Structure formats: structure tokens, C-alpha cells
């Protein structure tokens, strides 16, 4: 049993991870400012500190708790917000993260595992599915800040010996996904569908993404704790799915066509995104298990069961 910090542990992926760590018998502590996470998603067995990852309270928490492992998931997650206010994105995703990293070093944490992004780091890649070796020239501040943090982790490993692994997620979906702002398309479409509202499809619907179910992502995070690999690993399915495919699968699961209004394409929107999962299989022994149809079905069951 280990003492484990999950930053962002009240969020979509973090709370799912915390549940699984607790089920494995670990002692879990969550740091989250509840800016997009929810108190109701917190596992009752987790100790909770409601604070900003950039705050001075973080040093006290590390001194008191003495973590073995740190999962760093807390983040500003919206690309558009990062473009509108890059300083704020930097304050959270770089400086806030740095506060976690520096305190991890000072308190002797064994390993830090970081939730990075595939889509925003590779951009409109010419190689699909995109491997980790693809040149990283992000087109957003969100992508730049995630990449910057990856470099900090590498530097901390080589200079101070603090172990780490980076997981670059594809498009994660499933129960508890934040559905405000620029959330995942599956979360928005399903939320609208179960509430009888129309969804808007931007563009021709042939743009593709790589969707991976949240339980599979949590499983990859659990495995990352067990391996010695100081680098980046994609967590995706390797399958390109279009918006039209998503509409079809949601309609099938609903038993009726979902209501969709077709709108103009979003300027600058990425056309294709799909990550190669080969390295994840080799290093982590990880492969996604939940097929899209099944994941959508489970997400609809959840969306119908909650009133949020």
C-alpha cells in the first residue's frame, strides 16, 4: 500500500483514477480547487485538500503527508481559454505544476506521473496514427505548456533523479466528463441527447479524433506507476473516428437519431487526430479494452442516472 497524491482528483479522469487506487488498497490524498471538478466525485475514502496547486499550502501538504507517488492531473484543460489568456494557462499548467514538482523533489517522492496530451502536442500531424517520436510543435499555449512541463520532468529526472512517466492522452470520454466550455464532443452530444436538446456539429463531420474510454485511461495510469520509463507514452486507441461515426453510435445506443444542427467549421480546428498505441503496449502492456459502442452506452446510462 502506498501513499498517493492525485492532483485534480475531483475531476473527470482524476476521480476515476482515485476510485481505482483506493480499490487497490492505496492511501489517496486529493488536491483540487474544484474549478471544474466536483465534490460529489471525490471518493469518501480520499483525504481532500481544496486548494490551488500553485498555493503555498502545497508545501505544507507535502511535508505532512509524505507521498510515495504523485499523479499530476490538475490543469486548465481548454485550448481556447489558453489562447484567450495564456498567462493564466501558464500560471496553472506550468507554474502550478512546477510547485507540485518542486515539492515532490523536496519531500522525496518516488515517482511522478503526468497527464499530458497527444492531440494538442502533435497538432495536425502528417503521420497517422502518430507515434511519440513525431516532432512536437504545438499550435496552442495549452500544448506548449503541457510540453514545457514534460521537459521540466525530464530535467528533474536527469538532475535530481526524480523518476517520472508522461502519458499523452488522446480524446478521453466517459462518465463524469466536464461538459461545459470546450468539453469533449461525446460528453456534449450525450448531455444534449438525454436532455432532449439539439447538438451542433461544426463542419462536415468528417473530422476525426481518437477516443479512449476513461476506465482504460485510469488503467494506463495504474500501470505507469509500476514501470521504469522516463519519457512520453501515447494513450489512445489508434483508431480514427469521425464525428459522423459518433452521431451514428450515439443514435444507435439511444434507439433514435440524435438531433443535430450542422454549423460552420471552426476556424483552425484540427482535421485529424489519432495516436499510435504501440509504445503503450510495449512498455505498459496496455491496450484499450472498452470499444466505442460500449463506452458510449455506459456514458448514456450514467448521463441518464444523474441530474447535473
Ligand X SMILES: NC(=O)c1ccc[n+]([C@@H]2O[C@H](COP(=O)([O-])OP(=O)(O)OC[C@H]3O[C@@H](n4cnc5c(N)ncnc54)[C@H](O)[C@@H]3O)[C@@H](O)[C@H]2O)c1
Which part of the chain contacts ligand X (CB under 6 A), choosing from 21-29, 33-41, 122-130, 218-226? 33-41
Nearer Cβ to ligand X (73/250): 73
Annotated active-site residue in 41, 122, 142, 156: 142
Q: Is 4 in the site for ligand X (CB under 6 A)?
A: no
Classify each residue of 162-171 as buried b or exposed e, where b means 16 or more C-beta atoms within 10 Å of its C-beta: bbbbbbbbbb
Among 53, 79, 144, 275, binds ligand X (CB under 6 A): 53
Query: Catalytic residue at 142?
Result: yes
Q: Mask 153-192, x = binds ligand X (CB under 6 A)? A: ----------------x-xx-----x-----x--------
Binding to ligand X by residue 250, rule CB under 6 A?
A: no
Instruction: Return the residues of window 75-104 that contact ligand X according to CB under 6 A.
Output: 75-77, 92, 96
Per CB under 6 A, 144 contacts ligand X: no
Nearer to ligand X, 198 or 273 (CB): 273
Give the interface segment with ligand X, choosing from 27-35, 220-228, 237-245, 288-296 (CB under 6 A): 27-35
* Residue 296 lies near ligand X (rule: CB under 6 A): no
The residues binding ligand X (CB under 6 A) are 8, 10-14, 31-37, 52-53, 73-77, 92, 96, 115, 117, 169, 171-172, 178, 184
Hey, which residues are catalytic here?
Answer: 142
Amino acid at each position: 500500500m502506498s501513499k498517493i497524491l492525485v492532483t485534480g482528483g475531483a475531476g473527470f479522469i482524476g476521480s476515476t483514477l482515485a476510485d481505482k487506487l483506493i480499490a487497490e488498497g492505496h492511501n489517496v490524498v486529493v488536491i483540487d480547487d474544484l474549478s471544474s471538478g466536483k465534490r460529489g466525485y471525490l471518493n469518501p475514502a480520499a483525504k481532500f485538500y481544496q486548494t490551488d496547486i500553485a498555493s503555498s499550502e502545497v508545501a505544507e501538504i507535502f511535508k505532512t503527508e509524505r507521498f510515495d507517488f504523485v499523479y499530476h492531473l490538475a490543469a486548465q484543460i481548454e485550448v481556447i481559454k489558453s489562447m484567450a489568456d495564456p498567462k493564466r494557462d501558464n500560471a496553472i499548467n506550468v507554474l502550478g505544476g512546477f510547485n507540485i514538482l518542486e515539492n515532490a523533489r523536496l519531500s522525496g517522492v518516488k515517482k511522478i506521473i503526468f497527464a499530458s496530451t497527444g492531440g494538442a502536442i502533435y497538432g495536425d500531424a502528417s503521420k497517422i496514427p502518430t507515434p511519440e517520436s513525431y516532432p512536437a510543435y504545438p499550435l496552442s499555449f495549452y500544448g506548449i505548456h503541457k510540453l514545457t512541463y514534460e521537459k521540466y520532468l525530464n530535467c528533474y529526472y536527469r538532475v535530481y533523479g526524480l523518476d517520472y512517466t508522461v502519458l499523452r492522452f488522446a480524446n478521453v470520454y466517459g462518465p463524469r466528463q466536464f461538459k461545459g466550455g470546450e468539453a469533449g464532443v461525446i460528453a456534449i452530444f450525450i448531455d444534449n441527447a438525454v436532455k432532449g436538446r439539439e447538438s451542433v456539429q461544426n463542419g462536415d463531420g468528417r473530422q476525426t479524433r481518437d477516443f479512449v474510454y476513461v476506465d482504460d485511461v485510469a488503467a494506463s495510469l495504474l500501470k505507469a506507476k509500476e514501470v521504469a520509463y522516463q519519457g512520453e507514452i501515447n494513450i489512445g486507441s489508434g483508431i480514427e473516428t469521425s464525428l459522423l461515426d459518433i452521431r451514428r453510435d450515439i443514435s444507435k445506443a439511444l434507439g433514435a437519431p440524435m438531433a443535430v444542427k450542422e454549423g460552420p467549421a471552426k476556424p483552425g480546428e484540427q482535421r485529424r487526430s489519432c495516436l499510435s498505441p504501440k509504445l503503450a503496449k510495449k512498455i505498459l502492456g496496455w491496450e484499450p479494452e472498452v470499444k466505442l459502442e460500449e463506452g458510449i452506452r455506459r456514458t448514456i446510462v450514467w448521463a441518464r442516472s444523474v441530474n447535473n
